Homo-oligomer: A and B are copies of this chain.
């Protein structure tokens, strides 16, 4: 089994430098870090985490709490988080809460029992007062989520801006009956997106959108069911914003089955820029969320907080999303006819 000395020799660096890289010391150049990582990979060197843990009170492990792994948005986010953590010498462990308050607490308990150095939460199930008690034991940051009263760093997308942008685009093209599918109201981001959407509608003096609003819609099957409801409406919407691409795909598949033309009869916009949006006919217009930037910033921030032992700091890191124009968004014949 290779030792830290073997790594130093192969990398052509001192034992102290290698040790600094292993312990995530701030004053080591990226070049030296890469040399050490390359040598470690070549030798199959594994730092003895028990000894390391005793020495510096660290486990080298960061936990990410996510509601559901099978959601493609989250699996994409986790993939980048893991690669970033790894490049900084941390192991990432992923914990699925399944939206359960109790599971969230059990995983947060890993901080208390010193099994992880820090926690990244991608959603919040308990009241913040419950989460806050864990901040006595280590750093917690929010990624893709924000909570008003939380004294922690928050890395998130400006969803209000995003909801406003998509609504504004549709309104400017003459749509007035715009359906809106939301995955759920528990997340702050989801609420903000809806608020952005509504404020654009209010600016355009449109107020009676209750009948076009659908909650807890997040799968292909949900989208298919929603379309059945739309189809039976007296004044069916001419456009629809789906909170997830899977929902948009469900809407479109059901619409086509029932002889509707997309976008001829209904303009559809999804969210998340998933691969499937390019494979379906018509290709689905979607909103790109800056997942990679958000993941990188989250790892940078949690590492800093672990290193500085700062457990209660308020910080806002906000990013913007972008609309991708595709077939499902263009040439709505209802509008051509009425405008």
Contact = CB atoms under 8 A, between A and B. Distances in A.
Interface string A87-100: 00001111110101
Interface string A58-99: 010101000011101001101100110010000111111010
A208 to B, nearest CB: 32
Instruction: For chain A, give the interface size range.
Output: 35 or more
Nearest to A43: B102
A29 interface: no
A8 interface: no
A44 B115 contact: no
A100 B46 contact: no
Given A46-B102, A49-B109, A69 B59 contact: no
B41 A100 contact: yes
Given A94-B95, A102-B41, A106-B91, A112 B279 contact: no
B70 A109 contact: no
A52 B249 CA distance: 47
A233 B23 CA distance: 55
A278 interface: yes
Contacts of A276: 249, 276, 279
A53 B280 contact: no
Contact of A281 (B46, B86, B98, B281): B281
B113 A49 contact: yes
Nearest to A63: B93
A114 B54 CA distance: 14
Contacts of A53: 113
A256 B83 CA distance: 36
Interface string A270-314: 000001101111000000000000000000000000000000000
Interface in A231-266: 246, 249-250, 253, 256
A40 interface: yes
A50 interface: yes
B86 A103 contact: yes
A105 interface: yes
A281 B253 CA distance: 9
A216 interface: no
A116 to B, nearest CB: 9
Given A41-B102, A72-B70, A220-B279, A78 B96 contact: yes
B40 A102 contact: yes
A219 B50 CA distance: 39
25 contacts: A41-B100, A41-B102, A44-B102, A44-B126, A44-B130, A46-B102, A50-B112, A50-B113, A50-B114, A61-B115, A68-B79, A69-B78, A69-B79, A70-B78, A75-B75, A83-B98, A92-B95, A93-B93, A93-B95, A94-B94, A220-B275, A220-B278, A249-B276, A276-B276, A279-B279
Interface of A: 40-41, 44-50, 53, 59, 61, 63, 68-70, 72, 75-76, 78-79, 82-83, 86, 91-96, 98, 100-103, 105-107, 109, 112-115, 126, 130, 219-220, 246, 249-250, 253, 256, 275-276, 278-281
